[in-house]
């Protein structure tokens, strides 16, 4: 499927969040777009469900030997195989999204072959070089030809980093339309909650980042905090977190209901119904702004300060989780969030990105 790229816009993705955010772009591109799945997230239990949730056909990886390798191995393998693929079947442009190893490799492969590289969600910065994604962001910003910034703040980061103004465009983030398109209606959402045995009032938590899973003391403190929130907690368990719990022998509090991974539509239904979110996810910091939900981000730093500035999320160390949860759950905060627009755009980002990927013109960011 990925072989016939000549004259097409190659949309390169390898992880579940990339599938979700690039699905609207693929739909906007129509016959001009072509998916290239690297297989960076290789667990079919998770990826196949996301393809189906997003209305895309389940797509087999175009590359081999990517999943499960070290960062260096993954990037090297993908650059090599994508370069071969793009040489055999040359696309008119390469679209990459975000800050994954796939994003890095896709940008390198396109750039080295002189193919225009379009970076979706360009300009995110945590200013934390300990975060692996920050390296990918910086590298892709140096290689991309078209930078699709989700927010004016992201655009300023690019301009401050000497990216030419004529290459920077504030498009919004396609997560806004992804959520709107895929959110189940109230009746379906109620059925999904009932099918998973969730109560009327609950906290939804996700944990998967290495800074939490690879530190047994931090992981234990995070779970302890979840157990002291005073509400039932639903925890769809990421495979990395499941492995960490077994490795460290970490106990899950009785108040925390462990669930298997769920598809994206189900997760959106959970998010809409939850009274509070607790997570280390990057994408969830955007999704809560669309669904008007409060979020405690259990991380040391964030590349999405817009969510914090708008009041939808707060950074927290595990030991301060309970106090932050209490503040974010207050009626005053909930009322304010209900009236606060998402900082990530108007739901037309994918159309703007498709225009740029086809070589069309938009007004660049000049200040």
Per-residue pLDDT reduced to its tens digit, 169-188: 999 999 999 999 999 999 99
- What does the pLDDT look like over 249-300, one tens digit per residue? 999 999 999 999 888 999 999 999 999 999 999 999 999 999 999 999 999 9
pLDDT tier, 42 (very low <50, low <70, confident <90, very high otherwise): confident
CA–CA gap between residue 347 and residue 89 (Å, rounded): 32
Q: Which residue has the tokens 């990925």?
A: 2
- pLDDT category at 215 given cuts 50, 70, 90 is very high
Residue 2 has pLDDT above 70, yes or no: no
Give the chain's length: 367
**Residue keyed to tokens 């990216």:** 163
Listed in sequence order, the residues at least 6 apart from 147 whose beta carbon sits closer than 8 Å to its beta carbon are 119, 122, 123, 141, 155, 158, 163, 167, 168, 169
Q: DSSP code of 65?
A: S
How many CB atoms within 10 Å of residue 360?
Answer: 9
pLDDT, position 55: 85
Average confidence score pLDDT of the chain: 95
pLDDT given at position 1: 45
Looking at residue 184, what DSSP letter applies? P
Phi then psi dihedrals of residue 295, to 5 deg = -135, 130
Q: Is the pLDDT of residue 49 over 90?
A: no
Q: What angle do CA 279, 277, 96 make, to 5 degrees?
A: 50
Instruction: Give the domains, in start order, of the chain with CATH numbers.
Output: 9-174+347-357 (3.40.50.2000), 184-338 (3.40.50.2000)
Asked if 33 and 353 touch (Cβ cutoff 8 Å), the reply is: no
């Amino acid at each position: 499927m990925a072989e016939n790229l000549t004259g097409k816009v190659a949309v390169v993705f390898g992880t579940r969040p990339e599938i979700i955010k690039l699905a609207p772009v693929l739909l906007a591109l129509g016959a001009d777009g072509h998916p290239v799945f690297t297989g960076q997230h290789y667990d079919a239990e998770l990826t196949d469900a996301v393809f189906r949730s997003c209305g895309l056909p389940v797509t087999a990886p175009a590359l081999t030997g990517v999943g499960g390798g070290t960062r260096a191995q993954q990037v090297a393998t993908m650059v090599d195989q994508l370069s071969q693929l793009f040489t055999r079947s040359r696309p008119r442009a390469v679209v990459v999204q975000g800050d994954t190893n796939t994003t890095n490799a896709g940008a390198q492969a396109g750039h080295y072959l002189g193919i225009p590289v379009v970076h979706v969600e360009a300009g995110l910065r945590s200013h934390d070089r300990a975060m692996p994604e920050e390296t990918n962001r910086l590298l892709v910003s140096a290689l991309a030809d078209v930078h699709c910034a989700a927010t004016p703040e992201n655009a300023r980061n690019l301009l401050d980093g000497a990216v030419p103004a004529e290459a920077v465009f504030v498009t919004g983030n396609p997560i806004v339309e992804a959520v709107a398109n895929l959110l189940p209606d109230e009746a379906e959402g109620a059925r999904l909650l009932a099918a998973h045995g969730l109560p009327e009032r609950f906290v939804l938590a996700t944990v998967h980042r290495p800074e939490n899973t690879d530190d047994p003391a931090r992981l234990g403190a995070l779970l302890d905090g979840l157990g002291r929130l005073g509400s039932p907690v639903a925890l769809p368990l990421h495979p990395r977190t499941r492995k960490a719990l077994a490795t460290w022998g970490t106990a899950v509090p009785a108040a925390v209901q462990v669930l298997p991974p769920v598809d994206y539509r189900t997760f959106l239904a959970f998010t809409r119904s939850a009274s509070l979110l607790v997570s280390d996810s990057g994408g969830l910091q955007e999704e809560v702004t669309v669904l008007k939900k409060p979020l405690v981000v259990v991380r040391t730093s964030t590349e999405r300060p817009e969510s914090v500035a708008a009041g939808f999320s707060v950074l927290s160390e595990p030991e301060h989780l309970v106090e932050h949860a209490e503040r974010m759950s207050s009626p005053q905060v909930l009322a304010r969030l209900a009236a606060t627009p998402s900082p990530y755009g108007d739901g037309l980002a994918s159309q703007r990105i498709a225009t740029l990927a086809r070589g069309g013109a938009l007004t660049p960011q000049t200040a």
